[in-house]
Amino acid sequence: MKRYSKIWIMLSLISLQNSFAGRFGAIVFVIGKLIRFGMFFLLLAVLFNSTKALAGFTREQIFVVFLTYTLVDSISQLLFREVYRFRGRVVTGDFDLDLIKPLNSLFRPLLGGIDVLDAITLLPYLIVFVQITRGMQIQPLSVALFILLLLNALFISAGFHIIVLSLGVVTSEIDHAILIYRDIFQMGRFPTSIYTGLVRNVLTFVVPLTIMITVPAKVLFGLYSLQTLLAAFATSLIFLLVSLRLWQYALQKYTSASS
Amino acid sequence: MNKILIIAQNTAQETAAYRLNFVLWRARSVIRYLLSYFLWTAILSGVAGAVGGYSRAQMLTYLTFGYIVMTFVLATRTQDLGGEINEGKLSNALLRPQSFFQYLIGREIGDKVVNLVFSVAEVGLLLFILHPPVLFQSNPEVLLLTLLAVIGSTIMYFLLSLLMSLIAFWTNDIWAVRFLFFMCLEFMSGSLIPIDLFPGIWRSIVLSTPFPYVMFFPAKIYLGGMSVSDLRQGFMVLSIWIIGLSLLAYVAWRRGLKSYGADGR
């Protein structure tokens, strides 16, 4: 564990240097992310000029759902950014270099250093989150459960990223798989109860945004049951196990074609 | 003309060569449409009557027609040009016994036709599954104005995207400006919320940028009932953007070619 932490810090430092090698790009990236964050608040304000509640959620509650989405999304990108570069490593055969190292085969592709630019934007998100939830009467138990469910959401997110990595190994043609996941994930900016029919089922059972975003946010409002919490933790466990199994399968199919 | 059509055909065939990528790209567009569709269905189900002058049928028509327009306008191959300049591949295109812009236009037509066909098919499927109460415009004057707005938006976006790629003549950080552009486009095109629902000052600011002309303006015209002064103002702003961007693109191309070193070749 200590060895992995040391390597992870080293990879993160390299990632930091890479991020600031193109300073103009780095600054624009951070500005862009903050603009998107601010604009979404503006849009929510415009929406709530037209309606008092959305699918039973008040304006403040919708803000909390959006902020929960932002936190899960940002931390996932911060931790799993290397996944976005993985296809290139498979196509060029550079993935061989990861496989011959005395490390877990998943370590470098999944956690190959944090994205520092996402770490920078995380701070303002947290400040806004604290500001908005400060006015709400939230029980300490709800806060503890919220943090646990946030971690749980990150485990599910890790599972998805592992599935995408596996797809990258098996079919090197998939450029858009991670982006599709991100687009579906964006549907979590609003409570999943606004969706109906097949879409709602997909967001509950296939990409469980309900468990990743809506449930943690509802916990803060004091709206939860023991069954929901157990289902949330069971889902992340199943997701991780299935994704790890898929990764093992993908590794068996890896042909090291370009090396 | 024949050359342009052959290039367009080749571009369409190129898309077919990477089918899975294209299908996934289209799937991403459908997901974005579904987000707006369900959001507004939820809002309108909780409100009696119209929201900001939009009835349920008008809002869903706005989103559905806007989806097709946006797909058509945003389909472009000009974003590849930045990479080609950075890698020196532009030299290949410049050496051909054919105008470079003829080549670009051919690629645009090929890409737009493929995307348009798919978006119409997707909308047909979504209408079949979701049964939204969509309105069909039959007024020829409104349809003509809509067509004019779509053509204007297409030209404007082509020039904008071209300019964003021409930055590659001077820097390798070509993705940064495009990233920022798409961040703004997401909120200011009107794909989530029609721009006329924005409060006064914000509405005026957004309407003076190029973003709402990618979707809001043509989709709003299609709905009908737009005042003559709003139409006049919209077309005027769109024309100013087209003229300004044309001049900028012309200057950037001329100066860029002078500083082009075919690095990477």
> Cα distance from A53 to chain B (closest Cα, Å)?
8
Residue in chain B closest to A30 (alpha carbons) equals B180
Residues B57/B133, Cβ–Cβ less than 8 Å:
yes
With bands split at pLDDT 50, 70 and 90, how would you rate the model's confidence at B132? Answer: confident
pLDDT score, position B1: 66
A112-144 pLDDT per residue, tens: 888 888 888 999 999 999 999 888 888 899 999
B233-258 pLDDT per residue, tens: 999 999 999 999 999 999 999 999 99
| Mean pLDDT of the region B120-149 | 92
Q: Which residue, B77, B74, B71, is CA-closest to B27?
A: B71
User: Any residues with CB less than 8 A from the CB of B148 and at least 6 apart, and which?
Assistant: B235
- Residues of chain A with Cβ-Cβ distance to B39 below 8 Å are 190, 194
**Chain B interface test: which of A186, A194, A199, A200 (most B C-beta within 10 Å):** A194
Residue in chain B closest to A46 (alpha carbons) equals B198
Is residue B101 within 8 angstroms of chain A, CB to CB?
Answer: no
- A54: β partners: A57
Are the beta carbons of B193 and A177 separated by less than 8 Å? no
Among the ranges given (B49-53, B140-144, B173-177, B214-218), the one the predictor scored with the smallest mean pLDDT: B49-53
The conformation of residue B183, written as its DSSP 8-state character, comes to H
Q: Which residues of chain B from 127 to 166 reach within 8 Å of chain A, CB to CB?
A: 129
pLDDT score, position A114: 85
Rounded to an integer, what distance in angstroms lies between the CA atom of residue B94 and that of residue B79? 17
Give the C-alpha distances (Å, rounded to integers) separating B75 from B60, B83, B178, B217, B253: 22, 17, 14, 18, 21
Report residue B221: phi and psi, to 5°.
-65, -45
> Cα distance from B42 to chain A (closest Cα, Å)?
5
Is residue B33 within 8 angstroms of chain A, CB to CB?
Answer: no
pLDDT score, position A113: 81
Fill in the amino acid letter for B238: L
H or E segment to which residue A245 belongs? helix A226-253
The angle formed by the CA atoms of residues A43, A49 and A54, to the nearest 5 degrees, is 75
Is residue B28 within 8 angstroms of chain A, CB to CB?
Answer: yes
Give the C-alpha distances (Å, rounded to integers) separating A23 from A16, A233, B168, B173, B176: 11, 41, 16, 9, 10
Among the ranges given (A41-45, B20-24, B60-64, B91-95), the one the predictor scored with the smallest mean pLDDT: B20-24
With bands split at pLDDT 50, 70 and 90, how would you rate the model's confidence at A65? Answer: very high
| Mean pLDDT of the region A4-12 | 89
The string of DSSP codes covering B61-99 is HHHHHHHHHHHHHH--STHHHHHHHHTTTHHHHHHSSS-
The answer on pLDDT for A99 being more than 70 is yes
The answer on pLDDT for B205 being more than 80 is yes
pLDDT score, position B70: 93
> Which of the residue ranges A48-57, B27-36, B67-76 has the most confident prediction, judged by mean pLDDT?
B67-76
In the predicted model, what is the mean pLDDT of chain A? Answer: 87
pLDDT score, position B48: 67
Given the cut 0.90, state whether the ipTM is greater than it. Answer: no
Is residue B173 within 8 angstroms of chain A, CB to CB?
Answer: yes
Rounded to an integer, what distance in angstroms lies between the CA atom of residue A128 and that of residue A40? 13
Percent of chain B exceeding pLDDT 90 equals 46
pTM recorded for the entire structure: 0.85
B139-176 pLDDT per residue, tens: 999 999 999 999 999 999 999 999 999 999 998 878 88
Rounded to an integer, what distance in angstroms lies between the CA atom of residue B165 and that of residue B257? 13
Percent of chain A exceeding pLDDT 90 equals 35
The answer on pLDDT for A259 being more than 60 is no
Give the C-alpha distances (Å, rounded to integers) separating A161 from A77, B45, B61: 10, 36, 36
Residue in chain B closest to A54 (alpha carbons) equals B43
